[in-house]
Amino acid sequence: MMETRLSSVLFLACCFVRAFGDDSPFVTTSQGRIVGTTLQFRPEGRPELHGAVDAYLGIPYAEPPVGPLRLRPPVAKSWSGELQAKMPGNPCPQPEIKMGKLSPIVRFAEDCLVLDVFVPQQVPSNAAVLVFIHGGGYFFGQGTIEELSPATTAVIGDVILVTMNYRLGALGFLSTGDDVIPGNFGLLDQQLALKWVRDNIQAFGGDPERVAIFGESAGSVSVNLQMLSPGSAGLFRGAIMESGNPHSPLSTTDHRKVAFALGKLLGCERDTSEELLQCLQKVEDIDSIIKSQQEGLAKEFGYGILLAPVVDGSFLPDQPAELYAKGAINDAVSIIGSNANEGMLGFTMLFPDNTDEAPFINSATYDAYYPMFGSIISTEPIVANAVKLMYTDPTCTDGPGCNYVEALSQMSGDFSFVCPADKTARAYTQAGRKVYRYFMTHDPTTKISGPSWLKANHGEEIPFVFGLPLVGLPSDDYPTTEDEVRMSIRTIKYWSNLAKTGNPNLSSLDAELTDEEKQTEWPLFTVEGLEYKDLTPDMLNGRGIKARECRFFNEFVPQLIKTAEDAKKCKESSSKWTQDGSSDSETCTKDKCPEVPEE
**Which residues participate in catalysis according to the annotation?**
217, 342, 458
DSSP state of 395: T
- Beta-sheet pairing, 531-534 with 541-543: antiparallel
Say which residues have a Cβ less than 8 Å from residue 179's Cβ, sequence separation at least 6.
none
State whether residue 334 is helix, strand or coil. Answer: strand
Q: Which helix (H) or strand (E) holds 325?
A: helix 320-326
DSSP state of 317: -
Q: Bridge partners of 129?
A: 160, 211
State whether residue 238 is helix, strand or coil. Answer: strand
Name all contacts of 447-453 with Cβ < 8 Å and 24+ positions apart: 447/100, 447/101, 448/99, 448/100, 448/101, 448/102, 448/147, 449/100, 449/101, 449/344, 449/345, 449/348, 450/100, 450/348, 450/355, 451/354, 451/355, 451/356, 451/357, 453/357, 453/358
* Separation of alpha carbons 183 and 170, rounded Å: 9
* Separation of alpha carbons 418 and 436, rounded Å: 14
* Separation of alpha carbons 192 and 187, rounded Å: 9
State whether residue 588 is helix, strand or coil. Answer: coil
At residue 225, what is the residue type? L
* Separation of alpha carbons 166 and 220, rounded Å: 14
Q: Bridge partners of 56?
A: 117
Are the C-beta atoms of 176 and 276 separated by less than 8 Å?
yes
Are the C-beta atoms of 2 and 87 separated by less than 8 Å?
no
* Alpha helices (H) in 111-249, listed in sequence order: 150-157, 169-173, 185-200, 218-228
One DSSP character per residue, 448-499 reads: SSS-GGG-SBTTTTHHHHTTHHHH--TTS-----HHHHHHHHHHHHHHHHHH
| CA-based nearest residue to 149, from 282, 301, 17 | 17
Q: What is the CB neighbour count within 10 angstroms for residue 243?
A: 32
Maximum alpha-carbon separation in the chain: 90
Beta strands in 277-379 (DSSP E): 333-339
* Separation of alpha carbons 246 and 320, rounded Å: 6
